[in-house]
A = this chain, B = another copy of it.
Amino acid sequence: MLFSRPMIPIDILVYGIGLAGVAAQAAAGVLEAGRKPFDLFGVVIVALAAALGGGSLRDLLLDRTVFWIADQSYLITALTAGLVTFALVRFVRLPGKLFLLPDAVGLALFTVSGTQAALALGAPWLVASLMGVVTGVFGGIVRDVLCNEVPLVFSGELYATASWAGALLLIAMKASGATPGTSALAAGVLVLVIRLGAMRFGWRLPVFSARL
């Protein structure tokens, strides 16, 4: 019964974008893992961790059924995207920025879905916003830890900040009485705008400068 529940009746378009986001993060995971002398298995595991890690941690913390266990499509998508990317890079030189746009779309969608899932369970607003961020960025953190690198998302152009801003907007709009659809759309657009602006104009957060 745990696994046979029907798919949550969300819009097909949103579902498709979610799968595209998973695929983009898996592909980005392959490119990251490719800097290390990993074999096919290592690359696949890094790709799966990148694509599924954020939503998995969210579901574990909220005590929900892990999304890719409830719906195998996400796992198949991540696996396929990882294998295809692995095969492609042997023959063609993929531009590293190829995945940045779907990745940004995925970040927007994961933020919205993560925040909504937490709100639906009655989580307080700050927890809910953090769940949106976790869903969006934790996969990338796990990817970098597995590659024995400092997480990329801890520095560089705005990424998690875009996610957090969108999550907070979603919560504020819902609290103000906006419809779920409008709130989700506005929040997703905000994430996208900030992320794409950061990529284009190099927006960054202040870097820590302790006098230790």
Instruction: Give chain A's interface residues, CB within 8 Å of chain B.
Output: 1-4, 30-31, 33-43, 45-46, 48, 56, 60-63, 65-66, 68-69, 72, 75-76, 79, 86, 89-90, 93-94, 96, 121-124, 126-127, 130, 141, 145-151, 153-156, 159-161, 164, 204-212
Q: How far, in angstroms, from A208 to B92 measured CA to CA in the complex?
A: 13
Kindly state the separation between the CA atoms of A48 and B4 in the bound complex, as whole angstroms.
Answer: 34
Contact B63 A2 (CB under 8 A): yes
- A-B pairs, top 7 by smallest CB distance, nearest first, are A42-B154, A34-B210, A39-B205, A89-B210, A72-B124, A38-B154, A40-B205
| Smallest CB separation, A133 vs chain B (Å) | 9
In-complex Cβ contact of A207 among B38, B61, B68, B148 (8 A): B38
Q: Which residues of B contact A206 (CB under 8 A)?
A: 39-40
For A154, give its contact among B39, B63, B154, B204 (CB under 8 Å). B39
Not counting A42-B154, A68-B127, a sample of 7 additional A-B residue pairs whose C-beta atoms are within 8 angstroms of each other reads A1-B122, A3-B121, A4-B122, A34-B212, A39-B156, A60-B60, A63-B66
What's the least CB distance linking A140 to chain B, in Å? 11
Could you tell me the distance between the alpha carbons of A35 and B121 in the complex, rounded to whole angstroms?
38
**Residue contacts A-B, CB under 8 angstroms, 24 given:** A2-B122, A36-B154, A39-B154, A39-B204, A40-B205, A41-B164, A41-B205, A42-B153, A43-B208, A45-B154, A45-B160, A56-B61, A60-B60, A61-B66, A63-B66, A68-B127, A72-B127, A75-B127, A86-B208, A96-B212, A141-B146, A145-B148, A148-B149, A148-B150
